[in-house]
Structure 1
Amino acid sequence: MLAIEFEWKSGVAARDWSNVAKKGHIEVMELELKKLFDTVTSIHDEMFYLREREVEMQDLNIATYSKMATFSFLSIMVCLSVAALQLWHLKSFFERKKLL
């Protein structure tokens, strides 16, 4: 049996910080600051993405509410129209049979 494993990394986790420290000869504090800056940048980008999604979801919610209100109004109108037609039909039926 053959097993294949993948390890996906994105954002701050994708950077190899040990190589960054070796290549740049950076002090430990600078390295930590760069990590924190990348983390904050990642969180900031995620927040903007979530705000955009929130606006999209609000627009979708408003559109859905509008469609449901229209559908409900049309359903009530159809029910009232059918009731009126039934009353008219029954009245004419009973008048023909001379029961009214």
Structure 2
Amino acid sequence: MAARRPGSPASMWPRPSAPDHKPPVTIGFEFDWRSSVSAKDWPSVAKKGKIDMMELELKKLEETIKNIHEEMFYLREREEEMQDLNRRTNSRMAWLGFLSLGICLSVAGLQLWHLKTLLERNKLL
């Protein structure tokens, strides 16, 4: 069972089924999860390309801009999908409303017909 303790990114603890388990050595370890721009090793890029810090910062910014641009296209695509889903749902709800109205009117007509025939049979109408 893994638990997170303040001050350490990840900690391992024994399972509750083995409360008497006491390991002889405590080993601490740390994970560094990175994604996108922060995942690249920019100092090694600077060493390999022998570029100055300004150019390195510009490359970082360019990578960030590319990521933002891709994210914007993704969000526009998702927005279009959601709008299409919204239109289809509204159309279906309109048809369902008309169907419900038709069923209600049909039942009302059947009730009136039944009441009329009942009253005519009992000679009240």
Q: Which structure has more strand as a fraction of its residues?
A: 2
- C-alpha distance in 2 between matches for 1:6 and 1:60: 40
What letter matches 1:82 in structure 2? V
- C-alpha distance in 1 between matches for 2:30 and 2:100: 55
Q: Residue deviations 1:48-79, cap 9 Å, x none? A: 00000010001000000000000011001000
Count of residue correspondences: 100
Unaligned runs of 5+ residues in structure 1 are none
- C-alpha distance in 2 between matches for 1:31 and 1:69: 57
Shift of the 7–81 alpha-carbon distance from structure 1 to 2, 3 Å rule, reads farther
What letter matches 1:17 in structure 2? W
Judge which range, 6-15 or 33-42, deviates more.
6-15
Q: CA deviation at 1:19?
A: 1.1
In structure 2, the residue matched to 1:32 is: 57
1:43 equivalenced with 2:68 (yes/no): yes
In structure 2, the residue matched to 1:83 is: 108
Identity of aligned residues (%): 65
Q: CA deviation at 1:90?
A: 0.3
Q: Which structure has more helix as a fraction of its residues?
A: 1
- TM-score, length-scaled by structure 1: 0.93
